[in-house]
Structures are given as C-alpha cells and as structure tokens.
C-alpha cells in the first residue's frame, strides 16, 4: 500500500493553493472511504499540519487510512526544512507531496519528493510584475526564490496547473531540474464543490448577511498589485451608466482603508457606489458570484486562475485578462481584455451590462467550460503519477 505524506498546512485556507490542498485531499479520502475502482492503487495518507486551525480542518478526514500529524507551530522555513523531513522519515512515508510551490531541500534519500509548482512569478525579472507593498509577501518571494530551484532539483516529480506554467517552469527553472522536461506533468485544477448553480433563496440569504444588494459587479481584490485592484476601481469609475455597484471581496482592514480612499479619489461613494468586503466563507462567495451581474477578474499574472472557473460554475458572466494562463483556462467562455487597459475594462463592463443576451450566452458557455475541469479526474491522475514515482 502506497504511503503518501502531504504538506497540508494550507488545508484550512480555502482560497488559491488552500483550495487545491483541500479539494485534492477531499477526493483522495473519498477514494478511501467509498470503495470503487476510482483509485488506481491502494494507498494511505498522512497529513502534516502546523496549527490548530489546520488540525480542525483536517480532523474530519482522519480514519484508519488517514492520519493527521501536528508539530510546531514553528517558523515557516524551520518547519518545512527541518521538522517536516524528520517527521516523514519517522513515519516511513514512500513519497512526500508538497502542493504549494516549496518543499524541503534536504529529504532523506529513501523518500521520493513530488512538488507542485503553481507558478514562478517570484522568479520573474524585477519590474516585470509590480512589487507588493506587503512585507510578508516580499519576504515570501525571497524565500521562494531561494527554495524553489533547490527543491525542484531534489524533486522526483514536478506537477503544475497549466501549459502556460509548464512553459514558465522550463524557462526559469530548466537548469535546476533533476527530471527531464517530459517529466513535468500538468494536472489541472477545478472549482470546489461549493461552486455550482445556487438556489435563489441561498443567494438571497448570503447577500443579506453581507449587506449586499444587486445589481453589482464583483471583483476579488488584494493589496498585491498583481491582482490589479487599483485599475479595477478606476475602470468602474469610468462607467457612463452607474446603474451597478462595485463589490470587492478579499480585502483585509488595511486594504479596505487603502482602496476606500482610492475609490473616493475617483469620485465614488463608499457604501453606495463601492462596497469593500473582507474574506468571506465559501458559501458567501458562491452567493456573491451567483448574485453578480458579472465578475471582473483583471489579474496581471496567474498560474491557473481558479476564480474564473468558480464564477462560471455559479452561472456568472466573466470578464478577465488575456495574459498568462487565463486564456487557457477561460477558453471562449469569457470576455478577454488587456488588464493594463482601463478603457478596455470599462468598455467590456458596459457591453455586458447593456447586453442581456450576451450575458446569457456567457453563462451557458461558462457552465460548459467549468464542467470540463473535474477534481475527481485530477485527483486520480495525481495518484497515478505518485504511484509511478515510487515504482508501483
């Protein structure tokens, strides 16, 4: 029986890489608890976590074939580079899977290492992407610049989310890889189970709890300039017909204060024109997607772009970037714009607001597109790749 250890520290954080960790583990545990021919091989899991929140999120998955190990909490590099290798050796795992870009550089030789590199934005030349004002994010960038090439050299398997990211990995990490280019595998992501057609009463309840009333345009914001929140607000301010509000979620208090002042500088009224929200639950985010006239997602760089599929799965028309991996994920089911062109953004919003038939067309094509990405398929493929790494 294959013994897989997983760095599951992000299992409680249901955004981005946290969604990937949770969804993958959820499917793998389903393979274990619902005997069927879905799983290519027999296996067991050990989930490694570093916090009480992660333990709480992982605990429901524990059973005879799934163990949860908490140690720490500790300084991030210390936990990953020292404590985790010692624990996986003690637990005699066959393969350690690190699903969030970084991994131990020194791992005992008997243990295979599988690493998902979602993107290599931290390796891009300075100036190609705006630098984040967040000290935490800047330190994280430096840590990844140091660790990822070394971890990639140690890895027996490298997985990524898109063909775009695969090309970026080969361009920026090619000399660091211990595996051949053919060994870098693409395993796509998918919208989590919470994101799908929503009952009207659930949407109404979720929006009422957030004090949001349609009609509105939805944005997913961040202080990180890569998410392009400043241009999103400026493009909204240029709309000729202000029949919609702009709702931006995912902002911590400091970001809300910053973007609130920015919105006011563009002549927008907080509460009436613009509503800024913090981090919301998956249920609330699904309601926000489903209740929106459209999602505007003008990110400058993505290794995949999960919100595009999440919105499509909820029946929301999408305007998104024509850069990085996003066109590969959106296909022909979204309006693509240059995320640096504020006028193009504003025009695309106005076009969708004024064209109900186009919105319906994008809703239908979005449902089809989102259904083409499936966590069950991706989880099965990942198991197959891990089994090959250990020679099963």
Of 262, 320, 276, 325, nearest to 294 (Cα)?
Answer: 320
Q: Which residues on neighbouring strands pair with residue 297, listed in sequence order? A: 320
In a domain, 108, yes or no: yes
In a domain, 215, yes or no: yes
Cα(230)–Cα(223) distance, rounded to whole angstroms? 9
Same domain, 345 and 383: no
In a domain, 284, yes or no: yes
Same domain, 225 and 330: yes
Same domain, 154 and 288: no
Same domain, 82 and 67: yes
Same domain, 309 and 341: yes
In a domain, 195, yes or no: no
Structure tokens at 271: 């509460």
In a domain, 55, yes or no: yes
Same domain, 120 and 185: yes
DSSP string, 20-60: HHHHHHHHHHHHHHS-SS-SSS-EEEEEEE-SHHHHHHHGG
How many Cβ atoms are within 10 Å of 269's Cβ, its own excluded? Answer: 10
Same domain, 159 and 232: no
Which residue range is the domain that position 132 belongs to? 2-190+374-389
The answer to whether the peptide bond before residue 370 is cis (omega within 30 degrees of 0) is no
In a domain, 118, yes or no: yes
Same domain, 14 and 154: yes
In a domain, 124, yes or no: yes
pLDDT in tens, the chain (392 residues): 899 999 999 999 888 899 999 999 999 999 988 866 566 788 999 999 999 999 999 999 999 999 999 998 778 899 999 999 999 999 999 999 999 999 999 999 899 999 999 999 988 877 676 777 776 677 878 899 999 999 999 999 999 999 999 999 999 988 777 666 567 899 999 999 899 999 999 999 999 999 999 999 999 999 889 999 999 999 999 998 788 999 999 999 999 999 999 999 999 999 999 999 999 999 999 999 999 999 999 999 999 999 999 999 999 999 999 999 999 999 999 999 999 999 999 999 999 999 999 999 999 999 999 999 999 999 999 999 999 999 87
How many Cβ atoms are within 10 Å of 98's Cβ, its own excluded? Answer: 23
- Per-residue pLDDT of 71-104, as tens digits, reads 987 788 999 999 999 999 999 999 999 999 999 9
In a domain, 92, yes or no: yes
Annotate 301-367 with three-state secondary structure: CCCCCHHHHHHHHCCCCEEEECCCCHHHHHCCCCEEECCCCHHHHHHHHHHHHHCHHHHHHHHHHHH
Same domain, 348 and 259: yes
Same domain, 209 and 180: no
Give me the CATH number covering residue 119: 3.40.50.2000
Residue 379 confidence (pLDDT) = 95
Question: How many domains does the structure of the chain reveal?
Answer: 2
Same domain, 124 and 215: no
Helix, strand, or coil (residue 14): coil
Same domain, 320 and 295: yes
């Amino acid at each position: 029986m294959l013994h897989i250890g997983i760095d599951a520290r992000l299992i409680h954080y249901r955004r981005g890489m946290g969604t990937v960790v949770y969804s993958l583990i959820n499917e793998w545990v389903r393979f274990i608890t619902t005997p069927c021919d879905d799983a290519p091989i027999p296996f067991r899991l050990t989930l490694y976590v570093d916090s009480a929140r992660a333990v709480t999120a992982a605990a429901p998955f524990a059973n005879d074939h799934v163990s949860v190990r908490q140690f720490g909490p500790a300084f991030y590099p210390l936990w990953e580079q020292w404590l985790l290798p010692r624990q996986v050796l003690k637990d005699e795992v066959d393969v350690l899977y690190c699903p969030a870009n970084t991994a131990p550089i020194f791992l005992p030789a008997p243990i295979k290492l599988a690493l998902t590199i979602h993107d290599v934005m931290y390796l891009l030349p300075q100036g190609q992407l705006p630098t984040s004002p967040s000290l935490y994010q800047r330190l994280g960038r430096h840590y990844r610049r140091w660790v990822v090439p070394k971890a990639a050299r140690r890895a027996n398997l490298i997985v990524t989310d898109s063909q775009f990211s695969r090309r970026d990995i080969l361009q920026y990490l090619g000399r660091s890889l211990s595996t051949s280019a053919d060994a870098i595998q693409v395993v796509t992501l998918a919208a989590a189970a919470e994101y799908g057609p929503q009952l009207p009463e659930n949407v109404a309840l979720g929006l009422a709890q957030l004090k949001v009333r349609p009609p509105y345009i939805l944005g997913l914001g961040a202080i990180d300039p890569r998410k392009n929140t400043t241009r999103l607000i400026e493009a909204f301010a240029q709309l000729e017909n202000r029949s919609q509000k702009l709702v931006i979620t995912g902002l911590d208090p400091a970001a809300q204060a910053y973007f609130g002042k920015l919105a006011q500088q563009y002549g927008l009224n907080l509460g009436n024109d613009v509503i800024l929200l913090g981090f919301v639950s998956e249920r609330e985010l699904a309601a926000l997607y489903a209740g929106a006239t459209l999602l505007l997602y003008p990110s400058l760089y993505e290794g995949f772009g999960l919100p595009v599929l999440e919105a499509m799965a909820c029946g929301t028309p999408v305007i998104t970037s024509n850069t990085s991996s996003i066109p590969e994920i959106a296909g022909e089911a979204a309006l693509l714009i240059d995320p640096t062109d504020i006028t193009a953004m504003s025009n695309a919003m106005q076009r969708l607001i004024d064209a109900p038939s186009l919105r319906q067309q994008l809703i239908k094509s979005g449902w089809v597109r989102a259904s083409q990405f499936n966590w069950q398929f991706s989880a099965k493929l990942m198991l197959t790749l891990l089994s090959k790494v250990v020679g099963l």
